[in-house]
Structure 1
Amino acid sequence: MYERKKEISLGNIKIDIINKKNGHVLVGKVDLNKRFLEFVSQKEILLHFFNHYGYYVGTYYPREHLNSGYIILKQAEHYLDENKRIILASKIVEGSCKNILNVIKYYKNRGKDLGKIEENIILLYKKIEKCNKVNELMAIEGNIRDIYYKAFDEIISNEDFIFNQRTRRPPQNELNALISFGNSLFYVLVLGEIYKTHLDPRIGYLHATNFRRFTLNLDISEIFKPIIIDRLIFTLLSKKMITKSDFEEDMGGILLKDKGKRVFIEEFDRRLKKTINHRQLGRKVSYRRLIRMELYKLEKHLIGESEFEPYVSRW
């Protein structure tokens, strides 16, 4: 994902620029002039802004160059029709839950005591198909996540990283800080991939389309976060690549220091480049490519070519 990273100074203002294949992440405070914005627009480059504390601020999104009026109308149609929307929203939650269960099974097979957590998630999974309202799905998805997060302490087994409960803006402990930072990076990654398709990122199905700028990237992220972000966090902590010393108290919470962010980003890049055997294609594809393929599958669903089936890991 990240080709290189460099730090530049503008007067007494220092910013980090992380170059990406589908956009740039800017961390810190920076003033951009019109000529620069014209340049990135011509090059069809997205700019994702994070503040000094690692919080996602927003995205400079150049004029859409691949958007299709037909696809956008189909997206809106599938959102406004409750029956069509619930089908897609259910598939997203199913995919997320199945990948969560695969993470649980992976660590259960390595001696972690996760049997009860697995059983409780399976019970909730069986309720997904009975939902006929999106808010019911959201409630089930939230309950699955709450149970899943209880597995983190058993998987990580490190007193320096205790979950307690999910907290945001600001995260109240080190583990929550890692989850928030990783999720934010993943949301902008998926946004960049959507920009390379005919889809409009403002129309999602599980997450309500409202005054929030983007929602489709949140939907697709739900499917992949367990097997990319969560597994990455477990790896970083088990190998002690990130330790308690990589965090600091600030803004009334716990935040990841610059060194920790760099380590996280580098490993995130490696994870996205990692390839797996794709049974249907009969060849290896990267995790990044899987995300783009998920978007293409959604397009085909919208135009009636084939039903959307979320990606589920096989390991």
Structure 2
Amino acid sequence: MKDNLLATPDLIPARMLNEYVYCPRLFYLEYVQREWAENVDVLEGRFVHRRVDRPGGPAPVPAEITAESKIHARSVEVGCPELGAVAVIDLLESDDGQVVPVDYKRGAAPDLPEGAWEPERIQVCLQGLLLRANGYRSGYGIIYYAADKTRVQVDFTPALVARTKQLLAAARALAVSGAIPPPLVNSNKCPRCSLVGICLPDEINFLRGDDKASEATVATTLPSATEAPGGVLPAPTGREVRRLVPARDDNKAVYVQGQGYALGLNGTVLEIRDKGQAVDAVRLVEISQVNLFGNVQISAQALRALVNREVPVLHLSYGGWLQAVTTAPPHKNIELRRQQFQAAGDPDFCLRLAKAFVSGKIRNSRLLLRRNGRRLDPEVLSQLAALRNAVERCEELSSLLGIEGNAAREYFRHFSAMFKPENEPPFDFTGRNRRPPKDPVNALLSFAYSLLVKEMMVAVIGVGFDPHLGFYHQPRYGRPALALDLMEEFRPLVADSVVITVINNGEIGPSDFIQRGEAVALTPRGRKTFIEAFERRLDQLVMHPVFNYQVSYRRIFEIQARLLARTLMGEIPRYIPFVTR
């Protein structure tokens, strides 16, 4: 990504022009929105460049170069404001008074008449044009394919030069247009792209309605599990939505709740220490997030290493309330945040999104009761369905709050029906209370919601949102309103489901709680047990009701956050909440 680091609003890096020729959408994501992700191809390419990325060797000025000059310079920066481009040339060689840019590629040379793919030929040609613009003679370039150690010569013919300039002008026009190109349709380029999880090409094309991105829809009737707010879903395309991202995140969340513990760095390993002695350790490359409860210290070296890897560090109170998040500098996608702030000022847009969030929550609450409730009065399911229908008729946020409140009261009034009846229930539960929770079930629910909101914070920050500006939950000092918005549809499916599971399975009992006045809280052992159950739930594979592929809940959090972003950017017509079948 070294060329991209040199980018200014007026200069397009040669590597970015390669991306434009390969996929205009990829170029826009990386150059304009500053998105970046690594996969095995990126890491292998970095390994291939490990030597040429280190500057070295003389690069004489044009007047000093003769036919006898021997040049072997690595990582040579060259730019031209008039041409509007910049590049870092991997290797610069000489040939009879000319300079020859050599560009390294990780793969093998393709079996093509031209000897190389067009994006690679355009990239090395632009490097040659930049050299010419700086007074050098350059008639051809070399593409070195590391896999088969092949050098392919690319002659800077008039046709290639004209094509390069044409594409450079088109890339610049796209960069200033403010309109992201549509995804490629069913392209073989997508599976190996490092940004496929950000781009979501098949998902976006599906939600647009068809391959031409129409907004055709088909009517459905309540209570279909895949129904979208407003009673419509995108029309089927007749093509399967490919799961192009891993079903699970192999990296794991780290939780540290031992009071007085400290986190330190030992090489590339994060150590958890008690009184200076390591009690546990995990490699940095295996960490997705770090959660610190209460008085847990972290060294500056460890914090810097985590931030450099874009691993968020979440600081929670001893009881589990999120208090701070330490991350790298804010996401570079300012375009998304501008759209977020603009959309948040549109009452009609906010209402549409809020109705989707609340509709998803009510439907999932109803689903959980229907699946798990015992001796359940059928009337409650009818009431929840009616409240869900009322959401669609709602015309004000204040009315929507009332509907949601009524649905929550009805849901929690029958919540205990989901506990196993074989034995005497270990806890009494008559309704929801908080601040502080006054019984064990409410203590579990509050802790579950605090864990869920910090997961949503990680998701929305990672996508590039401002987590404190929501559409349903209105801004309030210190409140992560957007994270609260997105978590609504997942409260029943994740948080409430874990509470029911740990009670019904006997994983948590009365001895896992402590009473302080009216407040009830989990003991350290109880928190540990609940966190383990919560992580199992997040790692569970579930079928996405719209795209029909299986991914973990934690992965779905990110997908839903990105779909919300695509809704704000106008790429898809509406946000569809996640509702299991």
TM-score (norm. length: structure 1):
0.89
* Distance of 1:213 and 1:48 partners within structure 2: 15
Matches of 2:357 and 2:281, distance apart in 1: 30
Q: Which residue of 1 aligns with 2:384?
A: 121
Provide the identity percentage. 25
1:142-181, Cα deviation, whole Å (9 max, x unpaired) = 1111110011122115543222232212210000000000
In 1, Cα distance between equivalents of 2:545 and 2:523: 40
Q: Distance in 2 between matches of 1:152 and 1:18?
A: 40
**Residues 275/79 of structure 1: CA separation in 2 closer, same or farther (3 Å cut):** same
Cα 1:152–1:127 shift into 2, 3 Å: same
Shift of 1:102: 0.8
Partner secondary structure for residue 260 of structure 1: helix
The verdict on how the C-alpha distance between 1:62 and 1:123 changes in structure 2, with shifts beyond 3 A counting, is same
Maintained 8 Å contact 2:317/2:323: no
Structure 2, unaligned stretches of length 5 or more?
A: 1-250, 263-273
1:67 deviates by: 4.2
Which letter maps to 1:96? K
Per the alignment, residue 507 of structure 2 pairs with: 241
1:190-223 deviations in Å (ceiling 9; x for gaps): 1111122122212111100232342111111111
Tell me if 1:313 matches 2:566: no
Give distance in 2, aligned partners of 1:17 and 1:179. 29
2:261 matches 1:9: yes
For 1:70, the equivalent position in structure 2 comes to 335
Tell me which of 153, 157, 160 is aligned to 2:426. 160
Larger Rg: 2
Q: In the alignment, is the contact (CA less than 8 A) between 1:2 and 1:266 conserved in 2? A: no
Does 2:555 correspond to 1:292? Answer: no
In 1, are the aligned partners of 2:543 and 2:551 still within 8 Å (CA)? yes
Which residue of 1 is the match for residue 458 of structure 2?
192
Cα deviation code 1:53-89 (max 9, x no counterpart): x141412332444342211111112211101110001
C-alpha distance in structure 2 between counterparts of 1:250 and 1:183, whole Å: 21
Q: Do the aligned residues in 2 keep the contact of 1:161 with 1:175 (CA within 8 Å)? A: yes
- The alpha-carbon distance between structure 1 residues 45 and 173, as it changes in their structure 2 partners (threshold 3 A), is same
Q: Deviations over 1:7-52 (max 9, x none)?
A: 4636889xx9998944211112145565554444333332222223
Partner residue in 2 for 1:220: 486
Aligned partners of 1:308 and 1:132: how far apart in 2? Answer: 18
**Quick check: 289-298 or 111-120, which moved more?**
111-120
User: Could you tell me how far apart the structure 2 residues matched to 1:18 and 1:164 are?
Assistant: 43
Contact between 1:17 and 1:26, CA under 8 Å: does it hold in 2? no
Which among 354, 358, 372 is matched to residue 93 of structure 1?
358
2:396 to 133, 139, 149: 133
Rounded to whole Å, the distance in 1 between the matches of 2:466 and 2:401 is 22
Take 1:47 and 1:17, find their aligned partners in 2: how far apart are those partners?
18
60-69 or 178-187, larger mean C-alpha shift:
60-69
* Aligned AA (1:120): Q
The CA RMSD measured in Å over matched residues stands at: 2.7
- Whole-Å separation in 1 of the counterparts to 2:280 and 2:440: 24
Aligned-partner Cα distance in 2 for 1:222–1:284 = 21
Q: For 2:380 and 2:356, locate their aligned partners in 1 and report how far apart those are by CA, in whole Å.
A: 22
TM-score (norm: length of structure 2): 0.50
Instruction: Say which SS state the counterpart of residue 463 (structure 2) adopts.
Output: coil
Distance (Å, rounded) in 2 between the aligned partners of 1:83 and 1:3? 38
Q: Hey, what's the Cα distance between the residues in 1 that align with 2:329 and 2:407?
A: 36
3-state SS, counterpart of residue 196 of structure 1: helix
Match of 2:406 in 1: 143
In the alignment, is the contact (CA less than 8 A) between 1:71 and 1:198 conserved in 2? yes
- Report deviation, 1:225: 1.1
Q: Per chain length, whose mean CA-contact separation is higher, i.e. which structure has more relative contact order (CA < 8 Å, sep 6+)? A: 1
1:246-305 C-alpha deviation (Å, 9 max, x unpaired): 111126411111111111111111111111233544432111111111111101110111
> Shift of the alpha carbon at 1:105?
1.4
Q: Give the equivalent residue in structure 2 for 1:51.
A: 317
CA contact 1:203–1:214 (8 Å) conserved in 2: yes
Indicate if the aligned counterparts of 2:254 and 2:291 stay in contact, CA closer than 8 A: no
Q: Deviations over 1:82-108 (max 9, x none)?
A: 011100011100111111111121124
Summarize the alignment of residues 75-86 of structure 1 with structure 2, pairs less than 5 Å apart.
Answer: 75-86=340-351
CA contact (8 A) 1:18 1:25 kept: no
